[in-house]
Structure 1
Amino acid sequence: MNVVDMDGPGGGWRVLVPETRRERMRGLRGHPSPGPREAMLFRRCRSVHTFGMEEPVSIVFLDRQMRVIEVRRSLPGRVVIPRRGARHVLEAAGGSTLRIGDGFRPARRTGR
């Protein structure tokens, strides 16, 4: 599992990126609930499930430019139907304030 720093709404985000099939199937299960600017990014994905999740999450659909095109509040134990035009899916805290049009990009590194 990779951890990526991204710039997004409200500042810096800590984003987990699952790389293996097993990591993708597990998702946030077994991880602490995401904080206000923490999430898991499923690249090249249009749909996720929340089976085995203990708490609600926000399912955030992103386009190719990493802009939010839809936010769905999801209860545990559900399948989330794919969103047309989605390229990636972000799982964030259930009370996330992400909105349509918000964008993400890799964090800029500053030299010392």
Structure 2
Amino acid sequence: MYKIAVIGLGYVGLPLAHAFASKYEVVGFDIAEWRIEELRKGIDRTLELSEAQVNEAIANKMLFTNKLEEISTRQQLNPKKRISDNVYHSYQIFFEYKESYYPNSNKPNNQ
């Protein structure tokens, strides 16, 4: 079970996740599938982390994902704080709406 989840792996989230990964189990979440694929290969297009630093985070068992269900399961949450279903539903609606108006908006600029 991961102890810390960092949402958004851009120029703020990725270095933050890397810092936490030196002491804690971390899952880094980003909506962009291409971003997750690059990070899993040790590539950081933002240049906030070197390839060695990304690989260090991976070696420390940091997980990069774009799947909400990998952040936490409903059973792990306090029953009084179970908002995960609503968040997940809102997330799906937002991105379906966004993709209908801005197709391919989650792809890097050069693709």
TM over 0.5, yes or no? no
Q: Which has the larger radius of gyration?
A: 2
TM-score, normalization: structure 2?
0.35
TM-score, normalization: structure 1?
0.35
The answer to which structure has the higher strand fraction is 1
Q: Which has the higher contact order (CA 8 A, sep 6+)?
A: 1
